[in-house]
């Protein structure tokens, strides 16, 4: 056998050996792979210090332009599902709008955060969409519900920048910081909106976030209040 042939055979064996090591290493790496880390919403988006002298959403929205920095008071809600599944986006409504649990004498509404007893035009004028964006500028791929204590009906003070708006009521805010307050109660529609009231109403409303959304109890086709 020639010296050249021996050299080729030797290189081939070495190549097979190295390939075998690479395959083994790949299998070991794969076995240790626990999958991608699920995105979470950084705590830096939330503050326990409520800004003072904050205007209501309805006072800020009419004159704010895209790119403006804004600060306003609102409540989580405005639709049946105020939180977007899988994205850090949620809706808020102006404090002047009455959620259904603040109306009437009985707790007649399973989903009071959708404001179905309010005038739809009022909801459009007094609502906003809040985004919690990552470094890419896109909403973080994680549910906002529960982050920082966020849940339907709670007061929030939102500090951020207007990302988008139009004359049809669209008002999108990229939030920089959010203070999460408590919940109001019938007869005290502003309870939970001030510093020190963060725990107000947290045990008062035990509404399931599902169920039959039916307010028509007398069969007249209109919501009962």
Average pLDDT over residues 74-91: 97
**Same domain, yes or no: 135 and 80:** yes
Please state the domain count of the chain.
Answer: 2
**Same domain, yes or no: 112 and 146:** yes
The DSSP annotation for 164-183 comes to EE-TTS-EEEEEEEEEE---
Beta-bridge partners for 165: 171
Instruction: Note the pLDDT tens digit of each residue in 119-144.
Output: 999 999 999 999 999 999 999 999 99
The answer, yes or no, to whether residue 105 has pLDDT greater than 90, is no
Beta-bridge partners for 180: 156
The token pair at 168 is 């049809």
Domain membership of residue 151 (yes or no) is yes
What does the pLDDT read at residue 16? 35
Domain membership of residue 21 (yes or no) is yes
What does the pLDDT read at residue 125? 97
- Tell me if 72 sits within 8 A of 176, measured CB to CB: no
Q: How confident is the model at residue 103 (pLDDT cuts 50, 70, 90)?
A: confident
Q: How far apart are CA 180 and CA 194, in angstroms?
A: 10
**Same domain, yes or no: 28 and 64:** no
Q: How far apart are CA 68 and CA 107, in angstroms?
A: 39
The answer, yes or no, to whether residue 11 has pLDDT greater than 80, is no
Domain membership of residue 202 (yes or no) is no
* Cβ-proximal residues to 11 (8 Å cutoff; 6+ apart), any chain: none
**Same domain, yes or no: 94 and 118:** yes
- Tell me if 171 sits within 8 A of 126, measured CB to CB: no
Please indicate, yes or no, whether the overall pTM of this predicted structure exceeds 0.95. no
35 Rama sector, left if φ>0, alpha if ψ -120 to 50, beta otherwise: left
**Same domain, yes or no: 7 and 52:** no
- Report the CATH number at residue 135: 2.40.50
**Same domain, yes or no: 65 and 97:** yes
Q: How far apart are CA 17 and CA 11, in angstroms?
A: 10
The token pair at 26 is 């790949």
Instruction: Note the pLDDT tens digit of each residue in 181-201.
Output: 999 999 999 999 999 999 998
The answer, yes or no, to whether residue 210 has pLDDT greater than 50, is no
- Tell me if 94 sits within 8 A of 156, measured CB to CB: no
**Same domain, yes or no: 102 and 11:** no
Q: How confident is the model at residue 9 (pLDDT cuts 50, 70, 90)?
A: very low
Domain membership of residue 190 (yes or no) is no
Average pLDDT, rounded, for the chain = 81
* Parent domain of 135: 43-180
**Same domain, yes or no: 74 and 156:** yes
- Of 43, 50, 105, the C-alpha closest to 73 is 50
């Amino acid at each position: 056998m020639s010296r050249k042939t021996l050299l080729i055979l030797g290189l081939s064996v070495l190549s097979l050996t190295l390939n075998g090591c690479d395959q083994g290493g790949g299998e070991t790496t794969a076995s240790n792979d626990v999958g991608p880390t699920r995105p979470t919403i950084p705590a830096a988006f939330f503050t326990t210090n409520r800004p003072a002298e904050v205007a209501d959403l309805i006072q800020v929205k009419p004159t704010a332009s895209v790119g403006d920095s804004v600060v306003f008071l609102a409540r989580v809600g405005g639709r049946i599902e105020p939180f977007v599944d899988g994205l850090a986006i949620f809706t808020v409504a102006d404090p002047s709008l009455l959620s259904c649990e603040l109306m009437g004498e009985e707790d007649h509404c399973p989903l009071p955060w959708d404001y179905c007893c309010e005038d739809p035009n009022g909801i459009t004028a007094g609502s906003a969409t809040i985004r919690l964006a990552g470094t890419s500028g896109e909403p973080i791929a994680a549910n906002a519900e529960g982050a920082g204590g966020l849940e339907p009906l709670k007061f929030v003070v939102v500090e951020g920048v207007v990302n988008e708006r139009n004359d049809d009521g669209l008002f999108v805010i990229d939030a920089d910081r959010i203070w999460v307050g408590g919940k109001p109660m019938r007869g005290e529609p502003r309870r939970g909106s001030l510093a020190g009231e963060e725990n107000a109403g947290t045990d008062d409303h035990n509404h399931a976030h599902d169920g039959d959304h039916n307010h028509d109890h007398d069969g007249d086709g209109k919501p009962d209040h």
